[in-house]
Amino acid sequence: MNDPAASTPSGAGRAHPLMSIGEVLGQLRVDFPDVTISKLRFLEAEGLVEPQRTASGYRKYSWDDVARLRFVLSAQRDQYLPLRVIRAQLAEWDVSEEAAGRQRPTLVAVGPDGEVPGRGQPVESSQVRLDRADLVARSGVDESTLTELERLGLVVPDPPGWYDADALVIAAAVAGLAAYGFQPRHLRGYRTSADREVGLFAQLVAPLVRQSDPAARARAAETARELVALSQQLHAALVRVGLRSTLGR
């Protein structure tokens, strides 16, 4: 995860002129091509960045603001962190910054249980596109296993045969489970459970998706992110509880 301090030129927060929202968009699109003005306004409405306003009401961003936006966008894209987690980390950063006399500490996104996602292995972007050979090489699954995962609907390539970051995550997880004796047929329950959650979550976000307002669509995406994160926490906790008796705890 990029440290905002590393994203901000030395002294830029004081000496560099403020930027318009269009100029900020140009800065961010180099690394985040899908970001939009509506997304920036949504993050402002969520209190993650507070640009200055001119007398006419136009937004003016500092380099510190751009650094915060880079952190938020990276945490969402690379770590899949929900906004509530990102907001808490930024709040801690702000307190630490004040205590250090405005000397910015290193800012690293961490997961809900305190882990640092991506450490010890490359962080995969949601924009990853892999062909079949790359997916096999990077995930550790063999060709026959990948074919079976596709048959079961656990991995679905995008036409004309590209695999995204989620396909890589699934295939790598299956390869890890295979080391403990798991076979693809054991994973049918995961697919069934996921489909049930998709149906439930889709009902919750569909009303927002149907709206033409870009802000509503941004909120739909964030709601989906929050639901996925909460579901992961719930599933992990239930499995831990279920294993306690086996582990004698």
Residue 239 region by backbone torsions, left for phi larger than 0, else alpha for psi between -120 and 50, else beta: alpha
pLDDT at 110: 42
- Cα 132 to chain centroid distance, Å, stands at 24
Residue listed under structure tokens 């809900």: 112
User: For the domain bounded by 4-99, which CATH number is listed?
Assistant: 1.10.1660.10
Provide the terminal-to-terminal Cα distance of the chain, rounded to the nearest Å: 36
CA-wise closest residue to 194 among 178, 179, 173 = 173
CA distances, 148 to each of 7, 141, 142, 145, 154 (Å) = 44, 11, 10, 5, 9
CA-wise closest residue to 67 among 28, 121, 22 = 28
Give CA–CA dist 39/17, Å, rounded.
Answer: 23
Structure token pair of residue 66: 């751009």
The residue ranges of every structural domain in the chain are: 4-99, 124-182, 190-249
Rg for the chain, CA atoms, rounded: 21
pTM, two decimals, is 0.51
Structure token pair of residue 129: 């596109």
pLDDT at 125: 40
Q: Are the folds of 4-99 and 124-182 the same? A: yes
Number of other residues whose CB lies within 10 A of the CB of residue 78: 19
DSSP string of 25-81, one letter each residue: HHHHTTT-TT--HHHHHHHHHTTS---EE-TT--EEB-HHHHHHHHHHHHHHHHH--
What torsion, rounded to 10 degrees, do the Cα atoms 79, 130, 135, 224 define?
Answer: 30
Would you give per-residue pLDDT tens digits along the chain (249 residues)? Answer: 444 544 444 444 444 578 888 888 888 888 888 888 888 988 898 889 999 998 888 899 998 898 899 889 888 877 777 788 888 888 887 776 655 554 443 444 444 443 434 433 433 344 567 888 888 888 888 899 999 999 888 898 887 888 888 888 888 888 888 888 888 888 888 888 888 998 998 988 888 888 877 777 788 888 887 888 788 878 888 888 888 888 876
Domain 124-182 matching CATH 3.40.50.150: the answer reads no
pLDDT at 248: 76
Angle at 31 between CA 27 and CA 33, to 5 degrees: 90
